[in-house]
Structure 1
Amino acid sequence: MSDRTKKIFFALTIIVPFLLYCFYYYGMMIKNAPYRYSDFQSMSLEYGPVDSLVNKYNSKTGDYQYVDRRDSLVKMHLRLTSDDLLYLHRKAADLGFWDFPTKELADTSKGGKNKSIRYIIEFKYKQKSKRVVFDSEYVGDIRLIDANKTLIKEIKQSLLTAEERLKK
């Protein structure tokens, strides 16, 4: 067997089947991905003291209410653009939101008054949805806490940007 024949034989028996399998395997994974942006329906965020979640946003209805610095409740109709929602979807995927536990609550057994801020983040898709309840005083894996805080910060920043666009 010549050197060239060996290379062709190697390519046909090893490399080509491997590439075909990779295309098939990853194609099926992408096709069956549970959280695809093409299936995205809405995103919502609620936060505030544990006993009253006054600050709320729902991308499906566009309802947005929050308590401003003067302790007055501000209600408005605010729509995020599809680019904003795509950015938040990708940010959630980058941070591993789909693998977060559903409840990340602070320990209230110590008897002290809980001054924790509770966040409820929900992404809804056609087939599935993911809802995470996160307390700011949650004690757990630091990477998980940082990922939650980063996602919350990104959502709030997107809302602030959309509010500024609305005022212009």
Structure 2
Amino acid sequence: MNERSKKIFLYVCIVVPFLGYCIFYYSNMIKNAPFRFADFESIEFNYGATANMNNKFDSKTSKYQYVNKRDSLIQTSLKLRKDDLLYLHRKATEYGFWNFPDEMISTGVVDTAKNNVRFFLKFNYKEKSKQMLFDTDFKGDPKLYDAAKTMVAEVQRVLNDAEDRH
């Protein structure tokens, strides 16, 4: 092979696949562009037993209600800082929340003997919103299950930290 053929071969084998990967990667980012923090409005988070999700938080109204260890329903006001909301937005991006299916719930017979918990998480933006309904006994893709469980744990941690600050 002469020098020119080597350069063409190198270009075709390295540069073209790299450009193809860049187009694939950034097209997904552009597709999800409506989920920008500048357009962020609120977060809704509900969880509890499958039949009744008594634990609720809405960042728009700052209303937070939860069942404590003595089975009492506590209603309070909980305001999240902008940094907390930005953190949750970035974690949602990191875990791929925008690509989660809307429902990750158990199908078939629900075992009432188990203490299954259902979570509802919704990010509201000016033009769009993304929500997820997630059961702890979801039998789907394990990676998706772990990502959803971690996202829910992050939201709970931020709420607990905000409650400790007040």
TM-score, structure 1 length as denominator? 0.78
> Structure 2: which amino acid aligns with 1:116?
N
Q: In structure 2, what is the Cα distance between the partners aligned to 1:44 and 1:64? A: 10
Cα RMSD (Å): 2.3
Q: Is the 8 A contact 2:32 2:98 kept in 1?
A: no
In 1, Cα distance between equivalents of 2:31 and 2:100: 22
CA distance in 1, matches of 2:135, 2:32: 32
In structure 2, the partner of 1:87 is: 87
* Deviation sequence 1:73-124 (CA, Å, 0-9, x none): 11100000000000000000000000000011112336x4264211000000
Q: Kindly tell me: are residues 38 and 73 of structure 1, through their superposed partners in 2, closer, same or farther at Cα, counting changes over 3 Å?
A: same
Identity over aligned residues, as a percent?
Answer: 47
Q: Deviations over 1:2-34 (max 9, x none)?
A: xxxxxxxxxxxxxxxxxxxx9xxx6xx669811
| Matching residue's letter, 2:100 | F
Larger Rg: 1
Match of 1:156 in 2: 156
Aligned equivalent of 2:73: 73
Give the alignment's TM-score, normalised by structure 2. Answer: 0.79
Tell me if structure 2 keeps the 8 A contact 1:103–1:134.
Answer: yes
- 1:22-37 to 2 correspondence within 5 Å? 33-37=33-37
* Distance of 2:32 and 2:136 partners within structure 1: 34
Unaligned runs of 5+ in 2: 1-21
Encode CA deviations 1:112-146: one digit per residue, 9 max, x unaligned: 42642110000000010001100110001111111
| Inter-CA distance 32–74: structure 2 relative to 1 (3 Å threshold) | closer
**Contact residue 106 and residue 116 of structure 1 kept, 8 A:** no
Structure-2 residue corresponding to 1:140: 140
